[in-house]
Amino acid sequence: MTQQPPTPSLVAPPEPLNEVTAVVTPVVSAHQKTEAPMLGYIFDTHSNLNKHHHHDHKWGPHFEEVELGTNATNITVQVGSTANLNCRISLLQDKTVSWVRRKHGEDDLQLLTVGLHTYSGDSRYTVEFQYPNNWRLQIKFTNKRDEGTYECQISTHPPKVIQIHLHINAPEVMIVDEEGRRLHDKYYEAESTIQLSCIVRHVAMTSSVVSWLHGDRMLNYDTTRGGISVKTDLMEEGANSSLSVARVNKTDSGNYTCSISSTENATVTVHVLN
């Protein structure tokens, strides 16, 4: 008996599967901009590549403000108040956060903090870490000398940086003439009327008082001499105040001061001629 060869199977062998590599890339806008030069470089370098590569920048440390497009690059505070400069960082891992200061028109950087340690000799500068990821630089009792550019840096290679420009709003108090020019001396004839104008700017004055003084004597509520009038308009951005003193004589000569605080004032010297 002749043995027949086996009948070929009717089930076709499985076709080879094409290899598929899934690349999951966090979405980063190619048009996203930042003033920080290092971040600008990173975005420009990766903007056309991050659809195809695993090494998108979000796998490492990054600034949340830049990611959300809400990087607050300009902050204004009133002189004497506390300035809080936020720096929110995701995926910091083993990297270090530093704050440095760049003064207006200067290239030199002044190291302020590294991690939670302050390296500035000025004790008004501290890092107040806000859970979960805000490395906030706090500057207490601000003054005009604190104005400038501050940089929050991550110790990557190259470093990642965001800049915050701090402006200190200082009140301005001036006694001015009819043309708005600052006055230092004013001359009046005897029996005439002193007319002085004071302008206050860059400070909310709606709940404040503008005081007028002759030497150390308050004039606002003076009832002993008579002939004195003070009129003041208070505004959100300052105040306009005027002083009138009628029928002056030599005893009305001296320094007249317009004041909103012990440190914010202006003085003019009045001369009464015979």
3-state secondary structure the chain: CCCCCCCCCCCCCCCCCCCCCCCCCCCCCCCCCCCCHHHHHHHHHHCCCCCCCCCCHHHCCEEHHHHHCCCCCEEEEECCCCEEECCEEECCCCCCEEEEEECCCCCCEEEEEECCEECCCCCCEEEEEECCCEEEEEECCCCHHHCEEEEEEECCCCCEEEEEEEEEECCEEEEECCCCCECCEEEEECCCCEEEEEEEECCCCCCCCCEEEECCEECCCCCCCCCEEEEEEEECCEEEEEEEECCCCHHHCEEEEEECCCCCEEEEEEEEEC
Residue 3 lies in a domain: no
> 65 and 159 in one domain?
yes
Residue finishing a domain among 113, 148, 169: 169
Q: Point out the domain boundary residue: 149, 169, 189.
A: 169
Query: 194 in a domain, yes or no?
Result: yes
Comparing 232 with 180, the larger pLDDT belongs to 232
Q: Which pLDDT value is given to residue 21? A: 36
CATH of the domain at 254: 2.60.40.10
Q: Is residue 199 part of a domain?
A: yes
Same domain, 90 and 192: no
Give the pLDDT confidence score for residue 32 in this predicted structure: 38
153 and 194 part of one domain:
no
Does one domain contain both 84 and 153? yes
pLDDT digits (tens, 9 = 90+) for 172-228: 999 999 888 999 999 999 999 999 999 999 888 888 899 999 999 999 998 899 999
pLDDT on residue 122: 94
Q: Is the model more confident about 48 or about 199? A: 199
Same domain, 118 and 214: no
60: confidence class by pLDDT, cuts 50, 70, 90: confident
Same-domain check for residues 93 and 127 = yes
Q: Are 86 and 47 found together in one domain?
A: yes
Say which residue the tokens 């302050």 belong to. Answer: 118
Same-domain check for residues 177 and 252:
yes
272, 252 contact by CB (below 8 A): yes
Number of domains into which the chain is organized: 2
For residues 151 and 181, membership in a common domain is answered with no
Residue 32 inside a domain? The answer is no
In a domain, 6, yes or no: no
State the Cα–Cα distance between residues 267 and 213, nearest whole angstrom: 9
- Domain span at residue 49 reads 37-169
